[in-house]
């Protein structure tokens, strides 16, 4: 857990406290960057820069509640920047301006929401309730993060050219399933 | 009553990240976690972070067609950097305005090494052969807090 005490210790120069922050939010930063479809080397580079930027910015952040959203925003901005410079891939999403994290939950950022195990389970329950091919597509996308489009399409039994549009439709459906629940609660 | 989220509520990449994070099948590689932990060794307590500023069109420190110009500023200091690449490595030529004085020291840092220079009376310095990746230039001034340029990523063209 990362609380005010942890942050104060980090600011005082405690490496162990920093390691706690890295352990807690490392998977978040990695997943956020990987979702842009960067190579492993580029993803590593962007993750490294995100943490270097946190080292320099932490004295101005201080609030443990803000760190996760700050990391997400910074990692996304750098990943999107790199992608714009190097992209030739069709299947990567165009970044949008980061949503206001004050809204909380999925409406703000699903990657932040699933930092709690309950929200992670809720997300996958929504997926399990979807029809095919979306359910299989998401399962495959999550369990084979390094698979290429050709391979994913093959395992789903669809032409390579159909994977991108299908994935987009499935993501739109999942988004529609998640957001109204959030608005109603 | 609409089934559609408001436009841009979150993008596809955010949703993909959430699915993978919650599924837990893409753990952080050890070397990535190691560089994240090691980033802390580069902290500079009390330093002012110089943020990027727009670069006027004709402010080159030297005039090579391939060079990339960057400008950072904080605490009354401007750091101009002229970034060039040769043979896969990065060369930096920089100028600090106003010149920080004879007792100042300029340090060019990457995650794996640091090079120290004494700036010229006009505030100029140069470092050649840096590895591509993240770097930060720090101006250490006697009796003033250091000024460090925000970590910036450079790769050879």
- Residues A104-127: what's their mean pLDDT? 79
What are phi and psi for residue B43, nearest 5 degrees?
Answer: -70, 150
Please list every residue in chain A whose beta carbon sits closer than 8 Å to the beta carbon of residue B28: 26-27, 30
pLDDT band (50, 70, 90) for residue A182: low
Into how many domains does chain A fold?
A: 2
The confidence score (pLDDT) of residue B149 equals: 96
DSSP B39: G
CB contact under 8 A, A27 and B27: yes
CA dist A132 and A136 (Å) reads: 6
Q: In 3-state terms, chain A is what percent helix, strand and coil (to 5)?
A: 75, 0, 25
CB contact under 8 A, A120 and B22: yes
Contacts of B27 (CB under 8 A, 6+ apart): A27
ipTM of the complex: 0.87
Into how many domains does chain B fold?
A: 1
In Å, how far is B101's CA from the nearest CA of chain A? Answer: 25
Q: By the CB < 8 Å criterion, does B124 face chain A? A: no
The confidence score (pLDDT) of residue A51 equals: 97
Does a structural domain hold residue B62? Answer: yes
The confidence score (pLDDT) of residue B58 equals: 58
- Pick from B15, B21, B39: CB nearest A175: B15
Does a structural domain hold residue A110? Answer: yes
A23: pLDDT strictly greater than 70: yes
Q: From the CA atom positions of chain B, what is the Rg in Å?
A: 20
CATH classification at residue A131 = 1.10.10
Does a structural domain hold residue B114? Answer: yes
Residue B112 domain boundaries: 46-154
pLDDT band (50, 70, 90) for residue A111: confident
**Mean pLDDT score across all residues of chain B:** 86
Does a structural domain hold residue A99? Answer: no
**Location of structure tokens 């840092």:** B109
CB contact under 8 A, A124 and B22: yes
pLDDT band (50, 70, 90) for residue A88: very low
The confidence score (pLDDT) of residue A178 equals: 84
Q: Compare all CA atoms of chain A with the CA of B133 and give the residue at the minimum distance.
A: A45
The confidence score (pLDDT) of residue A89 equals: 40
B66: pLDDT strictly greater than 80: no
In Å, how far is A52's CA from the nearest CA of chain B? Answer: 5
Residue B125 tokens, joined: 């310095």
To the nearest 10°, the Cα dihedral for A75, A76, A82, A88?
140
- Pick from B21, B33, B133: CB nearest A22: B33
Which of A72, A69, A61, A64 is closest to A29 using CA atoms? A72
Q: In 3-state terms, chain B is what percent helix, strand and coil (to 5)?
A: 15, 40, 45
Does a structural domain hold residue A96? Answer: no
Residue A84 domain boundaries: 1-88
- Residues A63-74: what's their mean pLDDT? 90
Same domain for A118 and A68: no
Q: By the CB < 8 Å criterion, does B146 face chain A? A: no
In Å, how far is B33's CA from the nearest CA of chain A? Answer: 7
The confidence score (pLDDT) of residue B92 equals: 93
CA dist A28 and A115 (Å) reads: 8
pLDDT band (50, 70, 90) for residue A147: confident
Testing the interface with B: which of A7, A30, A139, A143 to mutate, by most B Cβ within 10 A?
A: A30
- Pick from B6, B19, B133: CB nearest A141: B19
In Å, how far is A2's CA from the nearest CA of chain B? Answer: 15
Which of A117, A141, A174, A122 is closest to A35 using CA atoms? A141
pLDDT band (50, 70, 90) for residue A91: very low
The confidence score (pLDDT) of residue B10 equals: 73
CATH classification at residue A58 = 1.10.1740.10
Instruction: Summarize pLDDT for B73-131 with one digit per residue, the tens.
Output: 998 899 999 998 888 899 999 999 999 988 999 999 999 989 999 999 999 999 999 99
In Å, how far is A159's CA from the nearest CA of chain B? Answer: 21
């Amino acid at each position: 857990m990362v609380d005010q005490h942890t942050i104060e210790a980090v600011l005082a120069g405690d490496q162990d406290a920093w390691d706690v922050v890295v352990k807690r939010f490392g998977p978040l930063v990695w997943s956020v960057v990987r979702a842009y479809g960067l190579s492993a080397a580029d993803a590593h580079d962007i993750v490294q820069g995100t943490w270097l930027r946190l080292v320099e910015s932490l004295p101005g952040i201080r609030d443990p509640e803000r760190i996760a959203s700050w990391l997400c925003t910074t990692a996304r901005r750098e990943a999107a920047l790199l992608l714009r410079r190097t992209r030739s891939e069709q299947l990567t999403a165009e970044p949008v301006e980061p949503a206001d994290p004050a809204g909380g939950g999925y409406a703000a950022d699903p990657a932040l929401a699933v930092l709690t195990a309950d929200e992670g389970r809720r997300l996958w329950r929504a997926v399990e309730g979807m029809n095919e091919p979306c359910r299989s597509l998401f399962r495959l996308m999550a369990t084979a993060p390094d698979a290429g489009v050709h391979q994913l399409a093959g395992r789903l039994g669809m032409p390579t050219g159909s994977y991108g549009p299908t994935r987009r439709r499935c993501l739109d459906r999942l988004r529609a399933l998640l957001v109204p629940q959030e608005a109603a609660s | 009553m609409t089934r559609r989220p408001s436009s841009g509520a979150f993008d596809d990449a955010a949703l993909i990240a959430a699915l993978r994070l919650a599924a837990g099948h893409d753990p952080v590689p050890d070397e990535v976690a190691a560089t994240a932990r090691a980033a802390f060794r580069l902290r500079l307590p009390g330093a002012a972070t110089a943020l990027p500023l727009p670069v006027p069109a004709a402010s080159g420190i030297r005039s090579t067609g391939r060079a990339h110009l960057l400008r950072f500023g904080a605490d009354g200091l401007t750091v101009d950097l002229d970034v060039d690449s040769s043979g896969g490595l990065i060369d930096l030529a920089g100028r600090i305005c106003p010149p920080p004085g004879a007792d100042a020291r300029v340090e060019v840092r990457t995650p794996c090494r640091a090079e120290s220079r004494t700036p010229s009376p006009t505030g100029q310095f140069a470092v050649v052969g840096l590895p591509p990746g993240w770097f930060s230039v720090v101006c250490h001034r006697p009796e003033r807090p250091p000024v460090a340029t925000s970590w910036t990523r450079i790769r050879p063209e």
